[in-house]
Chain A
Amino acid sequence: EIVMTQSPATLSVSPGERATLSCRASQSVGSNLAWYQQKPGQAPRLLIYGASTRATGIPARFSGSGSGTEFTLTISSLQSEDFAVYYCQQYNNWPPLTFGGGTKVEIK
Chain B
Amino acid sequence: EVQLVESGGGLVKPGGSLRLSCAASGFTFSNYNMNWVRQAPGKGLEWVSSIGGSSSYIYYAASVKGRFTISRDNAKNSLYLQMNSLRAGDTAVYYCARDPGMTTDIVAFDIWGQGTMVTVSS
Binding site for B on A (CB under 8 A): 32, 34, 36, 38, 43-46, 49-50, 55-56, 87, 89, 91, 94-102
Contacts and interface: CB of A to CB of B under 8 A. Distances in A.
B107 A94 contact: yes
Given A45-B112, A94-B59, A32 B50 contact: no
A5 to B, nearest CB: 12
Interface stretch (B11-19, B40-48, B77-85): B40-48
9 contacts: A32-B105, A34-B109, A44-B109, A46-B110, A56-B110, A89-B109, A96-B62, A101-B44, A102-B44
Contacts of A97: 35, 47, 50, 107
A40 to B, nearest CB: 11
B50 A95 contact: yes
B95 interface: yes
A34 B108 contact: yes
Interface residues of B, number: 22
B113 interface: yes
Nearest to B113: A43
A102 B42 CA distance: 11
A99 B62 CA distance: 15
Contacts of A46: 108-110
Contacts of A100: 44
A36 B109 contact: yes
A98 B110 contact: no
A43 B115 contact: yes
Given A43-B95, A43-B114, A94-B59, A99 B44 contact: yes
B44 to A, nearest CB: 5
B106 interface: yes
Contact of B61 (A32, A44, A95): A95
